Amino acid sequence: METIKLDIVSGDYQNGIKEAAHILKKGGIVAIPTETVYGLAASAYSDDAISRVFKAKGRPQDNPLIVHICDMKMLEKVATDIPDEAYALAEKFWPGPLTMVLKKSDSVAQSVSAGLKTVAVRMPEEKAARDIIEKSGLPLAAPSANVSGSPSPTTAEHVISDLDGKIDAVVIGNGCKIGVESTVLSIFDGKASILRPGAVTAEEIEQLLGKVDVDKAVLEEPKSSEKVSSPGMKYKHYAPKTETFLVEGSIQAFVNFVNKKDNALAICFEEESHLISSEKIVYGEMSDKKTLAHNLFSALREADNFKKESIYIHAPDKAGVGLAVYNRLIRAAAFRVIKL
């Protein structure tokens, strides 16, 4: 299959949006830019289109998809019994990188939710994504537009490298300004719980709702027998092919540790870069969590090109957006954490 490239930056914006919407309405699957990562979109009403998404990504069948909407009318088409807290959160954080798990309405295809009675919903901030949803008139189920297990795509090149020839089209837009996937929050019976951390932080949600829970699968490896609230958390994720370790410790400790390693790549902070003798990728300043989040997946994709025996990543602390960065890194490292 030829994957059509719809360039809305150097080509015609309106035409690209129109064409993407047209393909989606016919049951096609199209990679679209969002402010978090690129998504692989399909009509949330069509089991056929959704099954093509799972196939193109090689995604496990029991890992549900997030439905993307462009306005509150669409929210009420895809979810029912929406609690007041959800409206308050939407008011504060939408459009933006917050996904809410709500009760699913019957109009949404079963396969979107992998058989669950709930549906995860988000209104993206990226204008192109909302324009495509609006033009097609369809809520769009869209997981990250990568092959399952590999780092999520934050540029159109990442999408093309994983999915060229397997999907109908790619909308080539600007890079994703946030760079990690949305915060996933479930709210049932007045109890809010973060299933996956993202750019909307626990601290920000707490300002609105009071105490929120962070699901234990965010930082711990779920046991194979355990039922997890967010099925995605149990799968291998974001991993370079090279053996990867997450390292916790001060700049001095990390520098001493990594300088003793042979044939290793360091993924490190700006502040320590000049002290590290091995090859390295700098992913931002230690305290600038938003930049670390933005550069994270490109760094993980680039890492294998160095062809080293091992990769050591310096972990940021877990405050604010640091929790989202740490959550992705611990999975990239298959939960191998070295505490210095």
**Contacts (Cβ under 8 Å, ≥6 apart) of 223:** none
Q: In this complex, which beta carbon is closest to ligand AMP, that of residue 95 or of residue 232?
A: 232
Of 237 and 314, nearer to ligand AMP (C-beta) is 237
Element (H, E) at 220: none
3-class DSSP assignment, residue 99: strand
What residue 29 binds from ligand AMP, Mg ion, none (CB within 5 to 8 A, per partner kind)?
none
Provide the mask over 130-159, with x wherever binding to Mg ion is found by CB under 5 A and - wherever it is not.
Answer: --------------x---------------
Compute the C-alpha angle 47/71/6, nearest 5°: 65
Residue 33: CB minimum distance to ligand AMP, A: 14
Size of the site for Mg ion (CB under 5 A): 1
Contact 66, 121 (CB under 8 A): yes
Sites for ligand AMP among residues 45-64 (CB under 6 A) = 63-64
148/295 with CB nearer ligand AMP? 148
CA distance 232 to 181: 12
**Number of residues in contact with ligand AMP under rule CB under 6 A:** 20
Cβ nearer to ligand AMP, comparing 142 with 255: 142
Instruction: Give the torsion sign (CA, 201, 203, 205, 211).
Output: positive
65 binds, among Mg ion, ligand AMP, none (CB under 5 to 8 A by kind): ligand AMP
- Nearest CA to 157 among 38, 12, 16? 38
**196 is a contact residue toward ligand AMP (CB under 6 A):** yes
Asked if 66 interacts with ligand AMP (CB under 6 A), we say: yes
- Whole-number CA gyration radius for the chain: 20
Tokens of 82: 């929406």
Binding mask 221-250 for ligand AMP (x = CB under 6 A): ---------xxxx-----------------
Residue 24, H or E segment: helix 13-25
Q: Residue 187 binds which one of Mg ion, ligand AMP, none, with CB within 5 to 8 A depending on kind? A: none
34 belongs to the binding site for ligand AMP (CB under 6 A): no
Query: Helices 84-93 & 202-209, crossing angle to 10 degrees?
Result: 130
Q: Which residues bind ligand AMP (CB under 6 A)?
A: 63-66, 101, 113, 116, 118-120, 143-144, 181, 184, 195-196, 230-233
